[in-house]
Amino acid sequence: MDSLWIDLNKNKQDFKKLEENLETDVCIIGAGIFGLTCAYYLSKLGFKVIVLEKYKIGEKTTGHTTAKITSQHGLFYDYLTSSYGKKFAYDYLQANEQAIKNIEEIIAKEKINCDFEKQNNYVYTTKKEDLKSIKKEIKAVQNLGFNCEFVTKTGLPFEIEGAICFKNQAQFHPLKYLYGLCNSIISNGGQIYTDTTVIDSKQEFNSCLTFTQDNYIKSKYTIIASHYPFVNFPGFYFLKMYQSTSYVIAVDTKKTLFNGMYINSSQPIFSYRKVKFGKKELLLIGGGDHKTGQPTSYKDSYGILEEQAKKYYPDSEVLFKWNTRDCIPLDKIPYIGYYSSTMNNIFVGTGFKKWGMTSSNVAANIIVDKICGKANPFSYVFDSTRLKPIKNRDELKNVIIQSTNSLLINKLKRPNMNFDEIENDSGSIIEVNNEKVGIYKDNNGKIYAVKPICTHLGCLLSWNDVDKTWDCPCHGSRFNYRGENIYDPAYRNLEVYNLD
């Protein structure tokens, strides 16, 4: 099922596919909120920009977000202060607060009608034992000179033990915003191409070449805004981040809804906000997070969200449901800046860890300043070439174990299912002549067979029975049951076995 944002925009005219070689100042790979914000600022400054997108505008990560524009990224400022110091935490907060203002300013200046509204944001807990971490966070935020509040009453339909409230945050319709940016980019002379898959990008002396399947773009600068960086070396982003999948439902509660945007402070994560839908308001409930590629069930993904909806709104009806993926850096700080220290004409912004609405604007400003040769006071916080020790050693260990298992050990293990045991509308890996084969049987028993080896770096894929996809536990690429690549960093389809 499409997300509510995509459904509301499905009749929008899209752009053409790239069918010629072109030359430009800046080539931007990815037409999500980050890529288009870069294109917007640069085209306004008089740069010639070309944006290339594999799918449609904002169709992947931006089109599947809950679209909360906030500097409150969970309970984060106590962690930042204790790990990196007060100035660092202060600058992270200021960068994201500035991003909220920037987005509001763009919307006003370009007259973008995107349901933008100011809302308070809350991180809450319903557990007494978690109050201590909320209070610690409040102290850390107040210590940065930012005005936050401790509250025990919110609009939520259940009692809480306490919450930290950031005022003057915002929410909007992310695709309406993106199409508004596109209009401005085009009227500033920029070019946008969709259905265009980039397969490589490199820097040669002082210029860049970006290759699609049939054409290339020559540019002075390239910005990789493709969610997960697809160029493996140099950069090594696949060693520094993992991907997390989460789920969202949009519910008609048949009731008047509360103001505010909410997320709870500990597992299981639930997130809430309301959204306009024609004359109605729907409630978005998010959660069910797990590492991409790890097994889940309907009950643990959409199921727990539907249970929340029914618990507080027994007459409610789920109108949309979707899932999304986010890149999570091991040290929890986004990577923004040069793609690597050996590439000063190629830039990246990634690892927005579920807070991409503000992080994308922070990233666009830092990169535009770099291209213009201007100092940016926040760029050191997000430095993509940082060589700091990994703060999250447990997570690093998990990533290494997961990758070793999927690259080597699991490939040697015999699958524990055989062909006859696979039920209709389900899939599994089986062994045929000592080769692993990924099988999906549709509702009518029709069989789809693929080679279940990820086309990114060769990890063994796992079957996702909720979305009927093949998911990679190493870096989060995903493929549909036909073997078509639907999420990066892989961009090639799986090898398919013809059973006719």
Does residue 402 interact with ligand FES by CB under 6 A?
no
77-84 vs 131-143: helix axis angle to the nearest 10?
Answer: 60
Least Cβ distance, residue 457 to ligand FES (angstroms): 4
Binding mask 16-35 for ligand FES (x = CB under 6 A): --------------------
User: Which residues from 229-258 bind ligand FES, rule CB under 6 A?
Assistant: 238
User: Which residues from 177-196 bind ligand FES, rule CB under 6 A?
Assistant: none
Least Cβ distance, residue 232 to ligand FES (angstroms): 9
User: Which residues from 83-142 bind ligand FES, rule CB under 6 A?
Assistant: none
Least Cβ distance, residue 238 to ligand FES (angstroms): 6
Alpha carbon distance, N-terminus to C-terminus of the chain: 29
Amino acid present at 301: S
Contact stretch for ligand FES (CB under 6 A) within 3-11, 66-74, 389-397, 451-459: 451-459
H or E element in which residue 138 lies: helix 131-143
Contact stretch for ligand FES (CB under 6 A) within 92-100, 111-119, 318-326, 452-460: 452-460
DSSP assignment string, 386-447: --PPPS-HHHHHHHHHHHHIIIIIHHHSPPS--GGGPPTTEEEEEEETTEEEEEEE-TT--E
Which region holds residue 442: left if phi is over 0, alpha if psi is between -120 and 50, else beta?
Answer: beta
Contacts of 494 (CB under 8 A, 6+ apart): 438, 450, 451, 452, 453, 455, 461, 470, 479, 483, 484, 485
Q: 3-state DSSP call for residue 264?
A: strand
Least Cβ distance, residue 461 to ligand FES (angstroms): 7
Among 22, 457, 486, 496, binds ligand FES (CB under 6 A): 457
Binding mask 465-484 for ligand FES (x = CB under 6 A): -------x-xxxx-------
Please choose, from the candidates 168, 155, 171, the residue with its C-alpha nearest in 3D space to the C-alpha of residue 258.
155
Q: Which alpha helices (H) appear in 249-355, and where do they start and end? A: 304-312
Cα R_g (the chain), whole angstroms: 22
* Residue number, 333 or 454, with CB nearest to ligand FES: 454
Among 459, 460, 466, 494, binds ligand FES (CB under 6 A): 459
Least Cβ distance, residue 208 to ligand FES (angstroms): 24
Least Cβ distance, residue 229 to ligand FES (angstroms): 11
Among 134, 223, 454, 466, binds ligand FES (CB under 6 A): 454
Least Cβ distance, residue 476 to ligand FES (angstroms): 6
Residues paired with 224 in a beta bridge: 29, 348
Least Cβ distance, residue 450 to ligand FES (angstroms): 14
211 close to 204: Cβ distance less than 8 angstroms: no
Total interface residues for ligand FES by CB under 6 A? 13
Please choose, from the candidates 464, 404, 460, the residue with its C-alpha nearest in 3D space to the C-alpha of residue 436.
460
Least Cβ distance, residue 402 to ligand FES (angstroms): 11
What DSSP designation does 306 have? H
How far is Cα 42 from Cα 374, in angstroms, rounded to an integer? 13
* Residue number, 430 or 454, with CB nearest to ligand FES: 454
* Residue number, 50 or 399, with CB nearest to ligand FES: 399
Does residue 489 interact with ligand FES by CB under 6 A?
yes
* Residue number, 144 or 490, with CB nearest to ligand FES: 490
* Residue number, 261 or 459, with CB nearest to ligand FES: 459
Tokens of 181: 């940016």
Which residues would be at the binding site for ligand FES (CB under 6 A)? Answer: 238, 454, 456-459, 472, 474-477, 489-490
